Amino acid sequence: MRFEWRREGPAHACGANCRVWISAVGYITADTPREFETFAKDPNTRGAVLVLDSDGGSVLGTLALGRAIRSLGMITTIGKTTALPASRDGERRATLSPDGNCESMCAFLLLAGERRYVPPQAHVLVHQIWLGKKRKQALESNYSAEELNIVQRDIGRLVQYTIEMGGSGELLETALRIPPWEPLYRLSADELRRMKLTTADALFERDLAGPPPAKATTSLATVGQPAAPRD
């Protein structure tokens, strides 16, 4: 997974209210928590908005990364970050679309946010955890007692983590009944609320000014914007 600070653009479109977020894109590996620890030495990371776009990854890597995210009081959401061409002065800006994917273990990483928002256009998809090297041929593979023990151990750790993050047992039950040889299951808006994967109606503080925001929103919008990252 790659972590990058992003500032909204074009600059003339958002002016003094350009949003700032951390883009988290890609597969979660065993090395991702360590890489995030290095990235998070920037003090602006505390309380920042973390935008996820991931197809999941390592169970243990996700749990360690999730705990690091929670310790920093971050806000998690799902979206797709697209870099804009550099301006004349070399500044790089980006656009943020709510049409992102959060698959498999990414759903549990989403749960790590102190506050969480899933836009209506985003896709949160879940399935069982499985041995990575055998997931693509799950039905055809043979399994040793030690391999089954590893899966059971990781399920136990995932249960503990979900409770720790304030998640719902329904999330675990739903994920653990979708085998890897079936299509991933997309969680509905009602399920996202019940499972506590979304706890806020929007994201960025800029939208708090003026009339109260509508209950339904089609963009990433309201709960707490971090300070801009240092250059």
Cβ neighbours of residue 200 closer than 8 Å, sequence gap 6 or more: 75, 115, 116, 117, 222, 223
Quote the pLDDT of residue 209.
42
Q: Nearest to residue 105, comparing CAs of 62, 169, 165, 154?
A: 62
Cβ neighbours of residue 85 closer than 8 Å, sequence gap 6 or more: none
Quote the pLDDT of residue 140.
77
Encode pLDDT of 124-134 as tens digits: 999 998 887 77
Is 139 a residue whose pLDDT tops 90?
no
CATH for 2-207 is: 3.90.226.10
The Cα–Cα gap between 230 and 104 comes to 33
When pLDDT is averaged across residues 30-50 and rounded to a whole number, the result is 97
When pLDDT is averaged across residues 217-230 and rounded to a whole number, the result is 42
Quote the pLDDT of residue 111.
97
Mean pLDDT for the chain?
Answer: 87
Quote the pLDDT of residue 103.
97
Greater model confidence, 211 or 184: 184
Greater model confidence, 56 or 147: 56
Q: What are the boundaries of each domain within the chain?
A: 2-207
When pLDDT is averaged across residues 114-120 and rounded to a whole number, the result is 95
3-state class (DSSP) for residue 199 = coil
